[in-house]
Amino acid sequence: MASSFGERLRVSVYGESHGNGIGALIDGLPAGEAVDTDALARFMQRRQGGRAGTTARREPDIPEFVSGVTDGRTNGFPLCIRIANTNTRSSDYNNLADTPRPSHADYAAHVKWLGQADMRGGGHFSGRLTAPLCAAGGIAKQILARRGVHVGAHILSVANVQDDRFPMLVEPWFFDNIAARAVPVIDAEAGEQMQREIMNAAADSDSVGGRIECMITGLPAGLGDPMFDGIENRIARAVFGIPAVKGLEFGGGFTLCTLRGSAANDPLTVDKNGVIMTVSNHSGGIQGGITNGMPVVFTVGLKPTPSIAQPQQSVSLSARTETQLEIHGRHDPCIVVRAVPVVEAVAALVALDTLLIGNPQ
Amino acid sequence: MASSFGERLRVSVYGESHGNGIGALIDGLPAGEAVDTDALARFMQRRQGGRAGTTARREPDIPEFVSGVTDGRTNGFPLCIRIANTNTRSSDYNNLADTPRPSHADYAAHVKWLGQADMRGGGHFSGRLTAPLCAAGGIAKQILARRGVHVGAHILSVANVQDDRFPMLVEPWFFDNIAARAVPVIDAEAGEQMQREIMNAAADSDSVGGRIECMITGLPAGLGDPMFDGIENRIARAVFGIPAVKGLEFGGGFTLCTLRGSAANDPLTVDKNGVIMTVSNHSGGIQGGITNGMPVVFTVGLKPTPSIAQPQQSVSLSARTETQLEIHGRHDPCIVVRAVPVVEAVAALVALDTLLIGNPQ
Amino acid sequence: MASSFGERLRVSVYGESHGNGIGALIDGLPAGEAVDTDALARFMQRRQGGRAGTTARREPDIPEFVSGVTDGRTNGFPLCIRIANTNTRSSDYNNLADTPRPSHADYAAHVKWLGQADMRGGGHFSGRLTAPLCAAGGIAKQILARRGVHVGAHILSVANVQDDRFPMLVEPWFFDNIAARAVPVIDAEAGEQMQREIMNAAADSDSVGGRIECMITGLPAGLGDPMFDGIENRIARAVFGIPAVKGLEFGGGFTLCTLRGSAANDPLTVDKNGVIMTVSNHSGGIQGGITNGMPVVFTVGLKPTPSIAQPQQSVSLSARTETQLEIHGRHDPCIVVRAVPVVEAVAALVALDTLLIGNPQ
Amino acid sequence: MASSFGERLRVSVYGESHGNGIGALIDGLPAGEAVDTDALARFMQRRQGGRAGTTARREPDIPEFVSGVTDGRTNGFPLCIRIANTNTRSSDYNNLADTPRPSHADYAAHVKWLGQADMRGGGHFSGRLTAPLCAAGGIAKQILARRGVHVGAHILSVANVQDDRFPMLVEPWFFDNIAARAVPVIDAEAGEQMQREIMNAAADSDSVGGRIECMITGLPAGLGDPMFDGIENRIARAVFGIPAVKGLEFGGGFTLCTLRGSAANDPLTVDKNGVIMTVSNHSGGIQGGITNGMPVVFTVGLKPTPSIAQPQQSVSLSARTETQLEIHGRHDPCIVVRAVPVVEAVAALVALDTLLIGNPQ
């Protein structure tokens, strides 16, 4: 099932940019869990357009619970979320049916679905589909928090502007502080520089990419499975479902490739409560695919928004000739800002699934 | 199923470093495909120990076909590969039962399996398990080649020594040339420098990490599925099953995060045969999870071998105190050299699965 | 994922009897397929309440396509169906929270979800969930018909009243004729007797069970996979998801258990076009899990509706004592009549999935 | 993956009748579980040929543990079982390559694998493949017994000879007594009649079918998932993987189709320990797909062995003409006797998987 992931907690996403609605179906949530819709709305607002450097398309994106919730609590059955599509301007996309946008799914989708896919606004590949993903992940975050598991993320870089990395150990308030900022970063000054970088790109009818660092705290050691079903594999499968993600690394990631083992290894230690920990966390909380009790840390790389207002070289699918393309419509010059809660959402869903699978022995 | 991956072509890996044998079970291979055992042996030899900078443990690793092959051809049924474990020195691991090796799966596995896992030599997490993975992938490579699909890989870097990147379009002989080298690189001089880097690390009782670039050519456009079952997701799930992999990027990967859209986008063009192509391949042949007909390109980052001969800080699981650990046994100072065919194997298995799934319409 | 089935065509069902709505999510439909909503409405009407011997709860059950359909055609993306719940009388269920209905899911669900499931009207276990299943299956039937595959079913028995069995080979009009009848049977007289049987049971505040025979024609030989993913396994997994199904047999089924091999075997023959067929079809079109080109035939057994108006012995969950239970509300004295299109729907979905998986070689 | 089933406990079966070996791969077994090889050998002996009414092909079928077992205990990693094929007489099958045996997989497999499958002795469809299934299930039975879950089965009928049904509640010794008999039945006299029935069929160069009733005791209430992943669905998917199975019913099964609700429903009661039970068990321990704490009961129908020594009508695949077929080789006149432990094995594997999945809340 292409548009779903997870084992015990299974999330499916549906909808197209310019269809009646979009949504998510979540199967496997524990029953009796309160869903705080205000907190959920605040979480979803973090991925909303309308802020500086984001698209002018702004929709309320209030998730309706079609099923799975009774009197404000999960009722044990599949939770269907539906979000209306209210603000679509299909005319913006009239010229795209025959002229695929470079580095979009347009051409690949044209071949795959023999020209029959509804690709207006990117169709099912649209960034709008991350709204129901956030709704699902926001619910997972609430359930995780009650079990002592917290998920946070921040922009690690935009273009060449760098934020600080997460410290090795983080309390939940640290995540909250980041989330409260217009640009979710640790170093506020870096955030301002990022905004300038984004505005400059917009002024040039261009876009920029960036990286997001995400952390999951509170997962007990011993979760996950070896080889192809480790925590890394589970996160990887889900994270590459977020539009524009082209890279993923865990803990020290690619930096470890330049280090020697003596520097990359995480020495073990025992804290005052007798809990075994590591002194550093280059492993990102995962060894052999299995949690070791340290925070799970990963970094995601997003390419710049491929939709830019500059004329670009494309082709006419019907004529099989080169042609110039001008993309109209409303597009983020930098998707990274809005992608932060999306990464958190995906991380939360994988973490909750992992908790529910547990460690069957 | 933790130790397996794939949908129509499903590969399961079994065995422990110090058990009776290791192997793989491959379900879903097309029937009637010749298995060239000589070519397979040559492919598997590429991951063999015994060369400069690799472990002294050397085993013939001749795969036996327990099932699935009749008269040298696949017979339509699950192909079970078995490789004997002949060269184990368990005494090397006597001190490890109570003292987990830093940045190994030892501690996480101890918690998960309540101390009951057979972790001698790394158990099921051992790099030895990549031998059956190579056997499976080597067979997939032979089948793919008959269908015009080719897979190659090279070391992109060791520590800070860089090889050239693959050119955008590559013929099969290019892959063969790389594979024929002692150090599989494009720039032979870089290969020699890498070897020196590895020897230096070994001399210091240390290890180094590195990166591998892999390419799949010949896949038609329109394969893969959106969101969570795209080619990136399929490769990601499998690649993070290779021991020591901590990072993965497609096409331009993390480099794209620093670029503007105008530089990162792949303009479209039409070749002289009317085939639609892209002028650059920053997307790594995948857009929206679906192949666009260009070569699929990804880069994998491997951390330095965590087993090093230097004393390291660990803990006693029983006493819950810190302790010094000295690891004996035979270990590669750089796993990257031997991991090149493993990455190819995994890529080939995912590519063949993708071909078999096809594009159901 | 509990509430979904299928591999390439994946159907998920959501909703509770007394929630906001119910529906289905269908991932993997081919693109560009026309959806005839009139034909779909006619198909869905076949499972509607309001006819003699069925519940008084009558809802229009018009499926809304939230996604996946553009301009009356499938658009390649997950098709989300939503059906409103308009006619719920929760007060009927007030006494059931503490007193599980015999042979309903009430008690098992109470234990599983720790009393937190919304079991009003049977919750997610309600027969109402077969409406979206029919919507999904009705679309599959339309697509199958264009590919020469047809699905039909009839009531084989109610209580001890027997209908004729399908002839070995059946044309589509034969299915249509059955479907047009108030009681979908081959032998109209048997249908009238069945209605009397049902009315008698209703008059006694009781219910009756029955059997449904289903046939899929036009599937080519060579589809399906051996052992645990054969056509039988695929149908079985799906069919036991229909409420009240307690038995399933293929072809001759349990009757074969009393026969000798010489009588049970299907001799092979060649028709005038050189097509290999069997002289009889005791195998139900499936041998070794794989289609042999003959019609796929299976029979489903449904228990009598467990909701009856007679007082029954139950327990108080809180008091842990026996108690008498009287069930109010509107219930079918015989679910078999309405289950006929549901069985067709499930068969059609499995058949289309099987066609889409194809025979990868 | 065609030849595997299960979610957390995943069993894959491999091998062909006339290949090097057959076996099973079991992923997900709990670690530290003792494997009693003597008890396992005794269990496997129950499906051995060589007794009256079974094939003359007799092989020791001693399972070798290639991986997954260390010092007699499961070690947390995939357990690979291998059984040698020592007693093959391929010449018996020479005439079958072009002449499919009626009601065997021969013709369907010929089409599916384009004539490339190794169908000697039935290939991967052979009843021999149930040996590794028994090995896997025998290990599961041992683990289940330590957790208070027991699995037993008996022949319910051969041709028209009926055994008694299981009483509603059964102690483990009852299963043991049945298993100790040459013909595993409750009513010894019925067993003798069955043997005569089988011998008569053999004397006529014919075969007979029959039914097996299986029971799982000790499963707690609240396991399983609604709709398509209930206990019934899980058992169904696995059971139809046993060669010759053509029917399956749970609890009262098809008998319930003739009953009224008032007779079919299982009234609830409370035992002296305050445990909620049902007075009858027509539901077979499953309601809405979920265990209710009563024994899980199901009945399997097996068709007569299709291989009979009588001449039969078949076709020549190459000539596309009808032809007479005479099957040589060694075949059971009644597979039902040997299938009893196979059904137990499959039931045990599903039960253990269900326990390991648990009830995530």
Is there a contact between B19 and D114 if contact means CB atoms under 8 Å apart? no
pLDDT number for residue B328: 80
Residue A46 placed within a domain? no
ipTM for the whole complex: 0.96
Please tell me which of the candidates C77, C226, C358 has its beta carbon nearest to residue B358. C358
Give the residue from C80, C64, C77, C71 showing the smallest Cα distance to C34.
C71
pLDDT score recorded for residue D356:
97
State the smallest CA–CA distance between residue B77 and chain C in angstroms.
Answer: 9
User: Chains contacting A with at least 3 CB pairs below 8 Å?
Assistant: B, C, D
Instruction: Give tens-digit pLDDT for B122-140.
Output: 999 999 999 999 999 999 9
Measured in angstroms, the CA of B63 and the nearest CA of chain D are apart by: 13
- pLDDT for D55 equals 57
Gap from C233 CA to chain A (nearest CA, Å): 19
Instruction: With respect to residue B83, please indicate whether it lies within any of the assigned structural domains.
Output: no
Q: Between chains, do B30 and C361 touch, taking CB under 8 Å as contact?
A: yes
CA dist D254 and D248 (Å) reads: 9
Beta-carbon count within 10 A of B89 CB:
13
Cβ C107–D292 below 8 Å, yes or no? yes
- Whether pLDDT at D56 is above 60: no
Give pLDDT, residue C343.
98
Q: What Å distances lie between residue C141 and A331, C43, C71, C137, C215, CA to CA?
A: 40, 10, 19, 6, 13
Determine, yes or no, domain membership for D18: no
* Mean pLDDT on B4-22: 95
**Which pair of tokens denotes residue B305?**
């071998």
In chain B, how many domains are there? 1
From chain A, the residues in CB contact with C67 under 8 A are: 14-16, 19-23, 124
A118: closest CA of chain B, how far (Å): 13
CA distances to B165, B238, C149 from D176, in Å: 67, 45, 49
When CB atoms are compared, the residue of D4, D66, D75 closest to B118 is D75
Say yes or no to pLDDT of A107 above 80. Answer: yes
CB contact under 8 A, C30 and B361: yes
- Mode of pairing for the β-strands spanning C268-270 and C276-278: antiparallel
pLDDT band at C53 (very low <50, low <70, confident <90, very high): low
User: Inter-chain contact A10–C25, Cβ cutoff 8 Å?
Assistant: no
**CB contact (8 A) between residue A70 and residue C113:** no
Chain C residue with CA closest to B75: the answer is: C361
d(CA D346, CA D240): 10
| H helical segments located in C64-126 | 106-112
- Whose CA is closest to D137, among D258, D4, D247, D44? D44
What is the model's pLDDT at position A315? Answer: 97
Q: Around Cβ C165, how many Cβ atoms within 10 Å?
A: 13
- Give the distance from residue D224's alpha carbon to the nearest chain A alpha carbon, in angstroms: 12
Contact C246 D284 (CB under 8 A): yes
| Residue in B with minimal Cα distance to A302 | B257
C82 near C297, Cβ under 8 Å?
no
Q: What residues of chain B lie within 8 A of the CB of C30, using their CB?
A: 360-361
Spatial separation of the C-alpha atoms in residues B191 and B173, rounded to whole Å: 19
Tokens of B95: 């001190």
* Separation in Å, CA of B183 to nearest CA in chain A: 17
Query: Which pLDDT tens digit goes with each residue over C201-254?
Result: 999 999 999 999 999 999 999 999 999 999 999 999 999 999 999 999 999 999
Measured between CB atoms, which of B2, B10, B23 is closest to D66?
B23
- Nearest C-alpha of chain D: how many angstroms from B77? 6
Contacts of B20 in chain D (CB under 8 A): 64-67
The answer to whether the Cβ–Cβ distance between A1 and C114 falls below 8 Å is no
CA distance A71 to chain B (A): 32
Cβ contacts (< 8 Å) between A76 and chain C: which residues?
109, 112-113, 116-118, 123-124
Tell me the residues of C at the B interface, defined by beta carbons under 8 Å apart: 7-8, 28, 30-31, 77, 226, 356-358, 360-361
Chain A positions touching C124 (Cβ under 8 A) are 67, 76-78
Angle at B348 between CA B345 and CA B353, to 5 degrees: 130
Q: Is residue C155 part of a domain?
A: yes
What count of CB pairs under 8 Å joins A to C? Answer: 169
Burial of B98 from C-beta contacts in 10 A (0-12 / 13-18 / 19+):
middle
Among candidate residues C40, C18, C240, C262, the one with its CA nearest the CA of residue C132: C40
Q: Which of chain D's residues have a Cβ under 8 Å away from the Cβ of C4? A: 228
pLDDT-based confidence at D89, cuts 50/70/90?
A: low
CB pairs under 8 A between A and B: 383
Say if residue C329's pLDDT is above 90.
Answer: no
pLDDT band for position A328 (cuts 50, 70, 90): confident
The average pLDDT across A298-306 equals: 97
What is the Cα gyration radius of chain C? 21
Instruction: Say which of C19, C67, C116 has its CB closest to residue A73.
Output: C116
Strand partners, D4: D12
Q: Please give the average per-residue pLDDT across C260-283, as a whole number.
A: 97
Judge: B28–D2 Cβ closer than 8 Å, yes or no: yes
The confidence score (pLDDT) of residue C317 equals 95
pLDDT at C52 over 90: no
Indicate the average pLDDT of chain B.
94
Task: Tell me if C31 and A73 make a contact (CB, 8 A cut-off).
Answer: no
The answer as to whether A11 is a domain residue is no
Contact B317 A260 (CB under 8 A): no
- Give the distance, in angstroms, between the CA of residue B223 and the centroid of all CA atoms in the same chain: 22
Q: Which of D289, D280, D268, D299 is nearest to D167 (CA)?
A: D280
The mean of the pLDDT values for chain C is 94
- Name the residue of chain A whose CA is nearest to B228's CA: A241
- Going by pLDDT thresholds of 50, 70 and 90, the confidence category of residue D97 is confident
Task: Please tell me the predicted confidence (pLDDT) of residue C117.
Answer: 94
Nearest CA in chain C to D99: C268
Which domain CATH number covers C158?
A: 3.60.150.10
CB contact (8 A) between residue C303 and residue D160: no
Nearest residue in chain A measured CA to CA from D356: A360
By residue range, what is the domain housing residue C270?
Answer: 93-358
Quote the minimal CA–CA distance from C28 to chain A in Å: 7
**Is B232 within the bounds of a domain?**
yes
Mean pLDDT, all residues of chain A = 94
Top residue of C118, C125, C126, C128 to mutate, by most chain A CBs within 10 Å, is C118
Residue C159 counted as domain residue: yes
Query: Is residue B202 over pLDDT 60?
Result: yes
Cα within 13 Å of Cα(B175), Cβ side: 20
Give the best residue of C4, C77, C79 to mutate against chain A (max A CB count within 10 A). Answer: C77
Which whole number is the average pLDDT over C109-129?
Answer: 93
Minimum distance, in Å, between the CA of residue C98 and any CA atom of chain A: 16
Least confident among A43-57, B179-193, C314-328? A43-57
pLDDT tops 70 at residue A32: yes
pLDDT computed for residue B154 by the predictor: 98
The answer to whether the CB atoms of C14 and A116 lie below 8 A apart is: no
Between CA C133 and CA C139 the distance in angstroms is 10
User: Which of C19, C77, C112 has the CB atom closest to A124's CB atom?
Assistant: C77
D234 to chain C, closest Cα gap in Å: 7
Q: What pLDDT is attached to residue B228?
A: 97
- CA neighbor of C174 nearest in space, from C198, C140, C150: C150
User: Which chains share 3+ C-beta pairs under 8 angstroms with D?
Assistant: A, B, C
CA distance C225 to C179: 31
Q: What residue type is B91 in one-letter code? A: S
Tens of pLDDT, residues B287-303: 999 999 999 999 999 99
At D285-314, the pLDDT tens digits run 999 999 999 999 999 999 999 999 999 999
Specify the higher pLDDT residue, B62 or B177.
Answer: B177
Report the pLDDT value the prediction gives residue A298, as an integer from 0 to 100. Answer: 98
Shortest CA distance from C356: residue in chain B? B360
Residue A123: CB partners within 8 Å, gap ≥ 6? Answer: A16, A17, A18, A105, A109, A117, C75, C76, C77
Q: Which residue of B has its CA nearest to D5?
A: B1
- Chain A residues within an 8 Å CB radius of B17: none
Whether B163 maps to a domain, the answer reads yes
Q: How high is the pLDDT of residue A97?
A: 81
